[in-house]
């Protein structure tokens, strides 16, 4: 049976101020590498806008800016592989440096919720449950992170392939088993050398976020961990 490989943690220079590769280049590299789809998880955080001098923009303009990488990736793919919208969210509240990967997202939700950065994980998780999104803590055991209450998560990233960080993936995997959390794997793509270090093998092609959430909830997938 054919397996479909999707990148689940992917940043673009178009939006994320820590990324070094534009979506237009990265998508072509992922297609060459044999990936069947990409979930664009650019950073949505206060620092997304501060570096670019955009912290005073209206919320709608901030969302426009956030979507730049996703839209550039989708345009570049031009139907050759699916490109889905996700995000890596960091609050400006007491959550510290914690990052949360969100799957199933849609543009309308972002424009309607100008309060996102001011929430905490409990409030945000309740909002995502109402909207059918999934929330995973990214690299929860990387230095500087705080382990989130499992009650406020659908899962955690147990394999983060970024070579410039020690994400303590083995501890994350043990934590997921202990609390029966869903799991994901991603390259945490920021630079060319991050290409293809992680991802998920699904049993079917996924072309929209509704199907992505359905397939993840089945837990019938395999993780790419090298």
pLDDT tens track, the chain, 226 positions: 899 999 999 999 999 989 999 999 999 999 999 999 999 999 999 877 766 667 778 999 999 999 999 999 999 999 999 999 999 999 987 667 899 999 999 999 999 999 999 999 999 999 999 999 999 999 999 998 998 999 999 999 999 999 999 999 999 999 999 999 999 999 999 999 999 999 999 999 999 999 999 999 999 999 999 8
What is the pTM for the complete model shown? Answer: 0.96
Yes or no: say if 51 and 19 are a contact pair by the CB < 8 Å rule.
no
**H or E element: which one contains 174?**
helix 169-179
Contact 221, 159 (CB under 8 A): no
**Closest among 103, 87, 68, 98 to 10, alpha carbons compared:** 87
Cβ(21)–Cβ(192) below 8 Å: yes
């Amino acid at each position: 049976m054919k397996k479909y490989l999707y990148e689940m943690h992917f940043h673009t220079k178009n939006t994320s101020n820590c990324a070094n590769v534009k979506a237009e280049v990265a998508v072509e590299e992922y297609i060459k590498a044999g990936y069947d789809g990409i979930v664009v998880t650019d950073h949505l955080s206060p620092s997304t806008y501060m570096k670019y001098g955009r912290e005073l923009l209206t919320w709608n303009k901030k969302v426009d800016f956030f979507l730049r990488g996703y839209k550039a990736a989708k345009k570049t793919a031009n139907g050759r592989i699916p490109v889905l919208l996700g995000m890596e969210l960091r609050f400006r509240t007491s959550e510290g440096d914690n990052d949360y990967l969100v799957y199933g997202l849609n543009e309308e939700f972002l424009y309607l919720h100008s309060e996102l950065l001011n929430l905490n994980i409990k409030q945000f998780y309740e909002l995502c449950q109402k909207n059918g999104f999934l929330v995973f803590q990214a690299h929860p055991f990387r230095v500087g992170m705080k382990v989130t209450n499992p009650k406020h998560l659908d899962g955690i990233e147990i394999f983060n392939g970024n070579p410039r960080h020690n994400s303590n993936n083995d501890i994350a995997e043990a934590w997921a088993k202990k609390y029966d959390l869903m799991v994901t794997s991603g390259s945490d793509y920021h630079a060319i050398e991050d290409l293809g270090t992680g991802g998920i093998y699904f049993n079917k092609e996924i072309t929209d976020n509704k199907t992505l959430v359905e397939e993840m909830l089945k837990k019938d997938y395999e993780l790419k961990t090298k």
